Amino acid sequence: MDSMQTFREAVANPLAYAEEYHRTKDRPLMGYLCSYAPEELILAAGLHPFRLFGARGNIHRADAHLQSYCCSLVRGVLEEALAGKLGFLAGVIFPHTCDSIQRLSDIWRLQAITPFHADLVLPVKLNTESAKIYLREVLSRLKSELEAWRGITITEDDLRGAIAVMNRVRRGLQDIFERRSVSPGILSGADLQSIARASFLLDRRELSDQLARIGDDLRGKGNGTVDNGRKRLVLAGGFCDLPEIYGIIEEAGADVVGDDLCTGARAYGGMIDEDKEPLLAMTERYLTRPCCPAKHQGLTGRGEHLLRLVREKEADGVVFTWLKFCDPHAFDYPYLKAFLDQAGIPSLVLELEDQLPGEGQLQTRFEAFIETI
């Protein structure tokens, strides 16, 4: 499968992919850090949305700006920027989510790291009418900022075109994840993870074609039954930068059959209504897609979503994972765990420190957990 090869390469070396893109395509690259970044607007402005994952380990330049008790994503992205590795970026868009990204945005702006910088100050509530109105206006402001900077007009058709592309991307991802959830054997965990990751990096039009092709290839594979005797797990949490987690869990004897991660289903969940006014339709997706813990959609929304997910995917357990120092996720964990406990669903928590644990060590932990299920 040659698409798979493209994905693996891009994921193994995202910066090389970005540089190549920068050299060969006429779409300037627009960086972003969070699943609430409006990729549709970026595309419609003639730009390429490129998600930043940050450098792992050996962070020292960022130390001049951020304390050690800041999460490794925020520190890692700043490190890459200060090391001059993000020269291909025309700009970065910072959606307002957590306190750490909020301050990274300030630092980024003051250091004038990229020619273009925008804050998308989203509402924190995603469940009221006034928040909905405000959110639409915030998107509209970003649209004007992009237009002014690029000297263009983003027409309604441009937006509709971009929405169609992103809908196609999301449909493709949903389809692959769904098929793979039913028959985990049809695609390795490592490849699934590469697909999820690559979807934040690759040219979205090409990506939508590639995803459709992969989906077609998967059709007809597998026996379509859930029961293959192996344990089924759901991954839940935040930004997951453990590159091999799907593979390690697989080695340990279980399959990841669903997720609630910002590098997974939260990003590709929810479709945009193509019949509605574009900004309004985008707004509505934000209000209905699975919610990030830095946002508010009721007191138990995330717990209910997780339970629903576990049942829908017929999962046997949940692995929670988030980066150390990530407040929003650390705050939600006890209540989410209590939800699972009450329903008799076992869970394991894996907080990712700056230094990743060795693969062997992780596999042992997963094996021990899987045995208890």
The correct pick among 335, 342, 368, 371 for binding other proteins (CB under 8 A) is 335
User: CA gyration radius for the chain?
Assistant: 20
**C-beta closer to ligand SF4: residue 106 or 371:** 106
Considering the complex, what minimum distance in angstroms separates the CB of residue 169 from ligand SF4? 22
Q: Please give the Cα distance from 269 to 271 (Å, whole number).
A: 7
The correct pick among 207, 330, 350, 362 for binding other proteins (CB under 8 A) is 330
Say which residue the tokens 């263009």 belong to: 152
Cβ neighbours of residue 43 closer than 8 Å, sequence gap 6 or more: 49, 161, 162, 165, 166, 204
Q: Which two tokens stand for residue 199?
A: 């979807």
Residue 323's binding partner out of other proteins, ligand SF4, none, with CB under 5 to 8 Å set by partner kind = ligand SF4
Considering the complex, what minimum distance in angstroms separates the CB of residue 226 from ligand SF4? 32
- Taking phi first (over 0 means left), then psi (-120 to 50 degrees means alpha), and beta for anything else, what does residue 325 get? left
Q: Please give the Cα distance from 11 to 174 (Å, whole number).
A: 19
Side-chain half-sphere CA neighbours of 197 within 13 A = 27
Q: Please give the Cα distance from 54 to 17 (Å, whole number).
A: 15
Residue nearest to ligand SF4 (CB): 326
Residue 102 interacting with other proteins (CB under 8 A): yes
Say which residue the tokens 């924190």 belong to: 124
Residue 128 interacting with other proteins (CB under 8 A): yes
Considering the complex, what minimum distance in angstroms separates the CB of residue 355 from other proteins? 16
Residue 239's binding partner out of ligand SF4, other proteins, none, with CB under 5 to 8 Å set by partner kind = ligand SF4
The correct pick among 88, 177, 268, 325 for binding other proteins (CB under 8 A) is 325
The correct pick among 11, 30, 47, 70 for binding other proteins (CB under 8 A) is 70
Q: Which residues bind ligand SF4 (CB under 6 A)?
A: 71, 73-74, 97-98, 100-101, 238-239, 294, 323, 326-329
Q: Which two tokens stand for residue 359?
A: 């693969």
**∠ Cα 43 31 35 (to 5°):** 80
Which positions touch other proteins (CB under 8 A)?
A: 64-67, 69-70, 96-100, 102-107, 109-110, 119, 121, 123-125, 128, 130-131, 133-134, 137-138, 141, 293-294, 296, 299-300, 324-325, 327-328, 330-335, 337, 351
